[in-house]
A and B are shown apart, each in its own frame.
Chain A
Amino acid sequence: MSAVQVDTMSVHQPQAVYKTSIGKKIIMAITGITFVGFITGHMLGNLQIFLGQDRLNAYAEALQGLGALLWFIRAFLLAFIALHIIFAIILYFENRSSRPIRNVRVHNIESSLASRTKIFSGLLIFFFVTYHLLHFTLIVTNPEYAALKDSLGRHDVYSMMILGFQNYIISGVYILAILSLSFHLSHSVFSLFQTLGLNNAAWVPRLRMISNIFAVLIFIGYVSIPVGILFNLAKLPEGGLL
C-alpha cells in the first residue's frame, strides 16, 4: 500500500493582514509606538520654555526651518492618527459584539480601568489634540498670537505659550487632557511590546511597570509647563511684548 499524501492545512488562503485580529493589533501598536516617540520628543522640546525665550524660539524656528520635511512628518503623523482611530473604532465595536449578553457578576483581576477605557481616554485625547492644533499650531482660536515676534524677529512661541497658559481655563483643560493621555499610556507601552511579540514571562511585569512609570513621567513633564507658568517660573519677557 502506498501512503496517500494528505496536506490538510493548505486548503486556505491567507487573510489580508489588516483584516485579521492580530493584524489590527499590530497596526495599533506600530502607530502607537510612533505617538510614544512624538509625545516624548514634543515634551522635551517644549520643556525648553524653562530655559528662556531665546532657547525656545530658536528651537521653534529650527523646526519651521525643516520646511518640506516638517510637512512630511506632519502628514505622516496625521495619517497614523487616522489609522489608529479607525482601527480603534473597529476593534471597539467588534469586541463589544463578541459578548452580546454580559455576565451579571464580573470580577476583573489583571485588567485596569485604564486598559478597559482606552477608547474613551483616546476620544478625549482626540478632542484635545484638535483644539491644541487650532490653538497653538494653526492659531485659529487666538489669532492675536500670530503677530507675536521676539527681538530677533522670530515668531515668539515663548510668549504665546505663556499667554495661553496664563488662562486658567486653558491650563485646566490642558491638565485634564494630559491626565487622560497618561491614563491611556499607562497601558499602551506594555501593550505595544506585547503585541509586537517583544515580550516574555520575565518582562511582562517589568514592561507593565515601565508603562506606568512612563505615563507618570509624561504627566509630570507636560503638566509642569502650565503649572510653571501659573507659578511664574516662566514669565513674559522683561521689556513686554513687541
Chain B
Amino acid sequence: MNVTLYIWRQKNAHAKGKMEKYEARDLSPNMSFLEMLDVVNEDLITQGVEPIHFDHDCREGICGACSLVINGRPHGKQHATTTCELRMRHFKDGDTIYVEPFRAKAFPIVKDLTVDRGAMDRIMQAGGFVSVNTGGMPDANAIPISKKDSDTAMDAAACIGCGACVAACPNASAMLFVAAKVSHLAYLPQGKVEAKKRVQAIVSQMDKEGFGNCTNHLECEAACPKEISVKFIAKMNREYMRSSVVSK
C-alpha cells in the first residue's frame, strides 16, 4: 500500500517548523506506524536527506515513549492504542496522513516530532512516589487492601505517562496524567500516608510547568491509550480540596 504523508519538520527548538510532504511506497499493511516511518527514513537516508526524528522505545505499547498526533488525534484514531501498536492496515491505500508532534508549551519541540516531556518527569519527582525508609522487604499481604481499591489503583497505574492527554486537551492540560498518579497512590494505604502533601506538591509542579487548566472537555480520556478515566480527575479534585481544607 502507498500513503502520502505530511510531516512536521523542525530543525531544533528555536527554528520555525513546517509541514512537509513525503510519499511512502510499497508498505505492508502489517507494519506498525513507526515501522512505516522507519521505511520512509531509510529512503531519506539513501537520498542524503536528514531523517525524520520521532520518539520510540519499547514498540509494544508499554513504555510511553512513542507519541505523534496522527490526523489530529494523539496516537491516531485507533481506540486505546499507542502509535507503536497502530498498524498500517488501520489506514486505506492512498490515504493522506498528517503527522505532528504532541504540542504544548510545556512540551518544547526538540526536533521534528520529538518533544521534551521532561515536565512530566518533574511532576513525578514532585510527588509521584511514596517515601519508604527502607528496611527488610515487607511480608506479602501484610497490609490488607480491598479488591475494589486495588483494582481502582491498578486502573490508574496503567498510565504510561506518554502525554497523549496533554496533546489531546484543547487547553494542553496535564490533569489526566497527574490525576492518574495522585489517584493510583491515594487508593493504597502506602500512598495514603503522604496523600495530602502529594496532591499539593504535584499540582503546584504541574502549574509551574505551564500546562493549561482542565475545563472538562474530556478529550484526554478519549485519546488515552490506556483508557484512564476522567473519574480520576474528580478523585484528584476531591483529594486536593481535602488537603486544602484539612492541612491548615
In the complex, are the beta carbons of A25 and B213 less than 8 A apart?
Answer: yes
Expressed in whole angstroms, the Cα–Cα distance for A199 and B201 within the complex equals 24
Q: With contacts defined as CB atoms under 8 Å apart, how many contacts are there between chain A and chain B in the complex?
A: 164
Within the complex, the shortest CB–CB distance from B52 to chain A, in Å, comes to 16
Interface residues on A, range: 35 or more
Question: Is B6 in contact with chain A by the CB < 8 A criterion?
Answer: yes
Beta-carbon nearest neighbor of A188 in chain B: B216
Beta-carbon nearest neighbor of B168 in chain A: A109
Question: Is B131 in contact with chain A by the CB < 8 A criterion?
Answer: yes
Beta-carbon nearest neighbor of B209 in chain A: A98
Question: Is A6 in contact with chain B by the CB < 8 A criterion?
Answer: yes
In the complex, are the beta carbons of B219 and A197 less than 8 A apart?
Answer: no
Chain A residues with CB under 8 A of B216: 115, 187, 190-191, 194-195
Residues in A149-187 with C-beta less than 8 Å from chain B: 187
- Max chain A Cβ within 10 angstroms of own Cβ: one of B17, B129, B203: B203
In the complex, are the beta carbons of A9 and B198 less than 8 A apart?
Answer: yes
Expressed in whole angstroms, the Cα–Cα distance for A204 and B100 within the complex equals 30
Within the complex, the shortest CB–CB distance from A161 to chain B, in Å, comes to 35
Residues in A81-117 with C-beta less than 8 Å from chain B: 91, 94-95, 97-111, 115-116
Interface string of A1-43 (1 = CB under 8 A from B): 0011111111010110101111111100000000000000000
Chain-A contact segment, one of B21-29, B30-38, B56-64, B67-75: B67-75
Chain A residues with CB under 8 A of B237: 22, 25-26, 194-197
In the complex, are the beta carbons of B69 and A103 less than 8 A apart?
Answer: yes
Interface residues on B, range: 35 or more
Question: Is B217 in contact with chain A by the CB < 8 A criterion?
Answer: yes
Question: Is B47 in contact with chain A by the CB < 8 A criterion?
Answer: no
Residues in B223-248 with C-beta less than 8 Å from chain A: 223, 229-231, 233-238, 240-241, 243-244, 247
Expressed in whole angstroms, the Cα–Cα distance for A17 and B199 within the complex equals 12
Task: Take A15-B204, A109-B222, A111-B170 as given contacts and tell me if A201 and B71 are in contact as well, using a CB distance cutoff of 8 Å.
Answer: no
Chain A residues with CB under 8 A of B8: 104
Chain B residues with CB under 8 A of A194: 216, 230, 233-234, 237
Task: Take A197-B237, A197-B238 as given contacts and tell me if A6 and B212 are in contact as well, using a CB distance cutoff of 8 Å.
Answer: no
Question: Is B14 in contact with chain A by the CB < 8 A criterion?
Answer: no
- Max chain B Cβ within 10 angstroms of own Cβ: one of A7, A21, A105, A196: A21
Question: Is A198 in contact with chain B by the CB < 8 A criterion?
Answer: yes
Chain A residues with CB under 8 A of B203: 15, 20-22
In the complex, are the beta carbons of A21 and B213 less than 8 A apart?
Answer: yes
In the complex, are the beta carbons of A99 and B214 less than 8 A apart?
Answer: no
- Across the interface, A10 reaches (CB within 8 A) one of B197, B204, B244, namely B197
In the complex, are the beta carbons of B238 and A101 less than 8 A apart?
Answer: no
Question: Is B164 in contact with chain A by the CB < 8 A criterion?
Answer: no
Task: Take A12-B197, A91-B213, A109-B73 as given contacts and tell me if A20 and B105 are in contact as well, using a CB distance cutoff of 8 Å.
Answer: no
In the complex, are the beta carbons of A8 and B71 less than 8 A apart?
Answer: no
Within the complex, the shortest CB–CB distance from B71 to chain A, in Å, comes to 6
Expressed in whole angstroms, the Cα–Cα distance for A104 and B223 within the complex equals 17
6 nearest CB pairs, A to B:
A107-B72, A98-B212, A197-B238, A111-B217, A105-B72, A95-B171
Binding site for B on A (CB under 8 A): 3-10, 12, 14-15, 17, 19-26, 91, 94-95, 97-111, 115-116, 118, 187, 190-191, 194-201, 204
| 6 more CB-based (< 8 A) A-B contacts, given A20-B203, A24-B213, A25-B237 | A9-B201, A10-B197, A94-B212, A98-B173, A108-B217, A109-B73
